[in-house]
Structure 1
Amino acid sequence: MRITYNAPVTLTFAFFAMLILFIDAQLAPNLIHNVFTAEGKMTFDPKNYSAYLRLVTYIFGHVDINHLTSNMMFILLLGPSLEERYSSGSIAIMIFMTALLNGLINAFFFSTMLLGASGIVFMMIVLTSFANVKRGEIPLSFFLVAAMYVWMEVVRAKSEGDISYFAHLLGGICGAIFGLFENSVSRKSAS
Structure 2
Amino acid sequence: MNQFSPNTQFSFFPPAIKYLLIWNGIFFLATINIFGSGWTPMGSALAPLLVLQPFGDGFMPWQLVTYMFLHADFYHIFFNLFALWIFGQALEQLWGTKRFLMYYFLTGIGAGLIQLFVSSGSTIGASGAVYGILLGFGMMYPNRRIMLLFPPIPIKAKYFVGFYGALELFNGLTRADSGVAHFAHLGGLLVGFILIKLWGLKKPSEYA
Interval containing the TM-score (normalised by the shorter chain) = 0.7 to 0.9
List alignment gaps of at least 5 residues for structure 1.
46-50, 134-140
Q: TM-score, normalised by structure 1?
A: 0.77
Residue 165 of structure 2 is aligned to residue 150 of structure 1:
yes
More helix by percentage: 1
Cα deviations by residue, 1:45-86 (Å, 9 ceiling, x for unpaired): 4xxxxx111111100000011100010110011111110001
Q: Could you tell which deviates more after superposition, 17-26 or 4-13? A: 4-13
Separation in 1, partners of 2:45, 2:24: 12
Correspondence for 1:59 among 59, 65, 68: 68
In structure 2, distance between residues paired with 1:10 and 1:18:
12
C-alpha distance in 2 between matches for 1:104 and 1:173: 12
Is 1:159 the equivalent of 2:175? yes
Aligned to 2:95: 86
Report the Cα distance in structure 2 between the residues aligned to 1:127 and 1:186, rounded to whole angstroms: 10
Q: Tell me the residue number matched to 1:21.
A: 28
Counterpart mapping for 1:40-79 below 5 A: 40-45=54-59, 51-79=60-88
Partner in structure 1 of residue 3 of structure 2: none
CA deviations on 1:69-114 (whole Å, 9 max, x unpaired) are 0101100111111100011101111122112223333445531212
Pick closer, same or farther for the CA change 1:43–1:76 going to 2, 3 Å.
same
1:36, distance to aligned residue in structure 2 (A): 3.0
Q: Distance in 1 between matches of 2:56 and 2:120?
A: 6
Aligned ranges for residues 111-130 of structure 1 at < 5 Å? 111-130=120-139
Equivalent residue in structure 2 for 1:11, among 18, 21, 25? 18
**Size of the alignment, in residue pairs?**
171
* Matched position secondary structure for 2:42: coil
* Cα deviation digits, residues 151-176 of structure 1 (max 9, x gap): 21133332362222111001011222
Against the structure 1 CA distance between its residues 85 and 22, is the aligned structure 2 distance closer, same or farther, given a 3 Å change threshold?
Answer: same
Match of 2:44 among 6, 21, 30: 30
- Equivalent AA in structure 1 for residue 54 of structure 2: G
3-state secondary structure, aligned to 1:156 = helix
Cα 1:54–1:108 change in 2 (3 A) is same
Instruction: Give the fraction of aligned pairs with identical amino acids, expressed as a percent.
Output: 20
For residues 191 and 129 of structure 2, the distance between their equivalents in structure 1, rounded to whole angstroms, comes to 9
- What TM-score does the superposition give when structure 2 sets the normalisation length? 0.71
Distance 1:143 1:156, change over 3 A: same
Task: State the shift of 1:129 in Å.
Answer: 1.5
Q: Deviations over 1:98-150 (max 9, x none)?
A: 122233334455312120011111101110012247xxxxxxx5652443122
User: Structure 2 unaligned runs (5+)?
Assistant: 1-10, 34-39, 143-155, 204-208
Query: SS state of the match for residue 197, structure 2?
Result: helix
Contact 2:88 2:133 in 1 (8 A): yes
Contact 2:110–2:191, Cα closer than 8 Å, also in 1 = no
Residues 79, 124 of structure 1: 8 Å contact kept: yes
Secondary structure of residue in 2 paired with 1:129:
helix
Counterpart-to-counterpart distance in 1, 2:132 and 2:175? 23
